[in-house]
A and B are shown apart, each in its own frame.
Chain A
Amino acid sequence: MREGCKRVRIVATDVSVLHGRGFPDEHAAVNGITLSIEQGESVAIAGPTGSGKTSLLEVLAGLAKPTSGTVALEGSDGELRSAVGLVYQFPELQFFEESVLDEVAFGLRHQGVVEDEIPGIVGSALERAGLNPDDFLGRLPLSLSSGEQRRAALACMIALDRPFLLLDEPSAGLDPGMRERLVEFMLSMLEEGRGLVLVTHDLELAGLVTGRMIVLSEGRIVVDAAPDSIFRDAVLMEQLSLDPPPKYWLVNRMKSLAASKVPDLERLLLPSVGPHLADAERR
């Protein structure tokens, strides 16, 4: 990415998405949401199932049009869709090529990248996603295990080198080792100054890689704050049927037991509020 360019942001204004229009079950999956996400920022979108997380993500990526309201890319002349890479929840639904090479190359070819450059870009994208190019370039995408498919889908977006990366449930189905590499990968994307938005139930992951968490319920924003402060709010977490990361869960539970030792243990278990809080405070 070019250095010194102006901070780009995705701005959603009063966005609603109606599902099942004209059917008896018509409902607003997203209901009047206004928010702005800057390049360089790392944001988690959480909330109960059916709260509109994926619908919001698709709208922010410019892949779905909101029923009302607008989503725009500000601070850049480019188009929203070409500034954002979206990795879907179910990677197997986005594969259609005969080899991992062609799958990752598809977007590049579509963008008009010359064929000579493609193998190099694809190889390094696979490596960054945690797949050894020598083992995977020739494989049929649908023959990969679900964890490998997830990484191949990630490679498709890494190859496109977009300023914003949007991920839907990126850690679902990953084993602990792969999850650790996913965290490292996300932090490296942030170091490069990209914007990161992840929809996730994995709140521990959200705590590790984001400085801002937006919690949705029934298509509306319930809270938009630093993950640390949200995790400590036991009442809110229960209301939203969310489980905070284990250490927060433990500290919250001890508080409810009215234990005198809590402050001591809290300092031990939750020593800092994470390197990214500075981000949230800056806003």
Chain B
Amino acid sequence: MIEVQDVCLTYQGAEARALSNVGLTIQLGESIAIAGASGSGKTTLLRLLNGLRLPTSGRVVVDGMDTEDEQQVWEIRRRVGYIFQNPDNQLVSTTVEREIAFGMENLGLDRASMRERVEDMLAKLSLESLRDRPPHHLSGGEKQRVAVAAVLAMRPAYLLLDEPTSLLDALGRREVLSIIAGLAEDSSCAVIHVTQFPEEIALAERVLVLEAGSLVFDGCPLDLFSSASDLKRWGLMRPAAMAIADELRADGRVVPRSVATLDELALAVSGDDG
């Protein structure tokens, strides 16, 4: 469990608080999206969860360990994996294979299980053909997949992702999202995912919305997307399928309320009675 207790954070030299009295609890097994306009504090909140940032006031407690406690910081980082928006900020090794093994080496894992996990990750993220390539020679999207693989190989209990798909093509995005979905189903793991994409928000069980550093919504995506006026104020959009469905309804077509994806919408309007 990660507990965020009445946390405020003010960056040095800034007048306004980046986060204001935020309180929430994250349980293992949860799949959470963090959304909000640019500058609303999404990345700041994410960085508090593994102690990359410390609160100005209030506390963040990971499985009973306070992130302020320097003795515990490595154990916290082991349990809480972090994937940066820009993969260049976390790639350090000379080949893709070594990059994936790097974190595990620091955990002191034995060689056989390291090999096994490296192969597993290479396969899951379609990186086999790149295994001997230096990460810094890869494209932005390929680097992102390597970063995801390297963090997942350490099997963190909590996985934090800062807009991990913003640089990926459709295929890469599907791959990363299916991995996130797989982890989300695992009750021993929690996924916390900062994203601007309404389709990705819709995949989470729970959404946190920040507005100017305050937590203004904590609930399920369906409830979030049903409130159009709040969405606009919070700098969010509905999934395209929902918006297009409304457009079709305005044109007098019957589209069931349950339609949430483009595929469902295509099936619904292609039917005989639509």
Spell out A's residues near B (CB within 8 Å). Answer: 19-20, 23-25, 47-51, 54, 89-90, 92-93, 139-140, 143-148, 169, 172-178, 201, 241-243, 246-247, 249-250, 253-254, 257, 259, 261, 265, 268-269
Stretch at the interface among B106-114, B151-159, B164-172: B164-172
Pairs across A and B, CB under 8 Å, 6 listed: A146-B43, A146-B85, A174-B196, A241-B171, A247-B240, A253-B266
Chain B, range 159-179, C-beta contacts under 8 Å to A: 163, 166-172
**Chain B: minimal CB distance from A198 (Å):** 14
Sort A-B residue pairs by CB-CB distance and give the 3 closest, nearest first. Answer: A49-B141, A147-B38, A246-B240
Contacts of B269 in A (CB 8 A): 254, 259, 261, 265
CB contact under 8 A between A90 and B86, given known A49-B167, A246-B262, A250-B266:
yes
Contacts of A246 in B (CB 8 A): 240-241, 244, 262
Contact B266 A25 (CB under 8 A): no
Contact A140 B13 (CB under 8 A): yes
Contact B169 A241 (CB under 8 A): yes
Contacts of A89 in B (CB 8 A): 140, 167
Stretch at the interface among B66-74, B131-139, B220-228: B131-139
Contact A259 B37 (CB under 8 A): no
Contact A172 B166 (CB under 8 A): yes
Chain B contact patch, size range: 35 or more
Contacts of B13 in A (CB 8 A): 139-140, 143
Contact B137 A20 (CB under 8 A): yes
The A interface, classified by DSSP as helix, strand, loop or mixed, is: loop
CA distance A143 to B54 in the complex (A): 16
Contacts of A257 in B (CB 8 A): 266-267, 270
Contact B85 A25 (CB under 8 A): no
Residue of B with least CB distance to A237 = B170
Residue of B with least CB distance to A268 = B251
Contact B168 A49 (CB under 8 A): yes
Q: Which of A50, A243, A265, A268 contacts B139 (CB 8 A)?
A: A50
Residue of A with least CB distance to B141 = A49
CA distance A261 to B12 in the complex (A): 59
**Chain A: minimal CB distance from B81 (Å):** 20
Contacts of B169 in A (CB 8 A): 47-49, 201, 241-242
